[in-house]
Structure 1
């Protein structure tokens, strides 16, 4: 009798640990020692947004994008490599490299897309915020004014609250909304909305 209680307790403990491990694998941040492979995702801390690879519509091309987490159909709100897809395969890798650049590599390790760099950082990390903003920052500094790079400065076709729109006098970046070419192709289309 004592053995069956011990076995049941052990199974209960094991089940609890495994469910905790599964929950803890969802992360909103990666550093320079980690990569995001096609099929992996970052999930914002409040579970509102997801960053990962996707193929729009009937396309076989792969893009890195951000979409709403709790909607059945993927509703993409930002695309990194909208003009340079990973062609017809799922071998893309997204990673952070020092001194603070986000790069997307294809199957031959060539850079398909990269962020620009405002300043160098020794310990850069990539984080998906619950606002939908993807930011590069120094590991121990989460103050928005010190972000190295943020997706909210580089709009695609969707406007979210707190995105930068128009001319940013601090960064010198002009942000505008540009339509997708088609539902299958996020390349900039014929329509642009900007603040002049």
Structure 2
């Protein structure tokens, strides 16, 4: 056999080396990093009012207006706001301008009064107290919002906000818990 002739053994060796190289080259694109998808609804860049939460009396807290921003790709249709307190504290009501929020905001519902966790749901829409936040837009909650407490004393307040139509690919707003002094 001369050096110019290709043997079956040479072809098999070449093929044996070529198959793994082709497999590695074909697999490489699937290993490349892909960007994270933009959230459907993203409220994470929302900002609380400058004053935060201020104690008006032993059992009444005023909440500064919060600006909710939606940097996602889908409109936020309504909001679900959860207020949680610790240290044996309870939430007895949520008011706007001195009236229970359910009597002021169209379609608003609350659950959990008398417990340490209250959920406020604001309906979608553009009526008084209704919330729809288009992508790239913002909504500022009204001033004059109060939380009524069951007792005086220090506690921590945790607030979380999510769109009513949130999906698994949505991001809510959760500022750091706030320590409320006695």
Name the larger-Rg structure.
2
> TM-score normalised to the size of structure 1?
0.28
> TM-score normalised to the size of structure 2?
0.30
Q: Which has the higher contact order (CA 8 A, sep 6+)?
A: 2
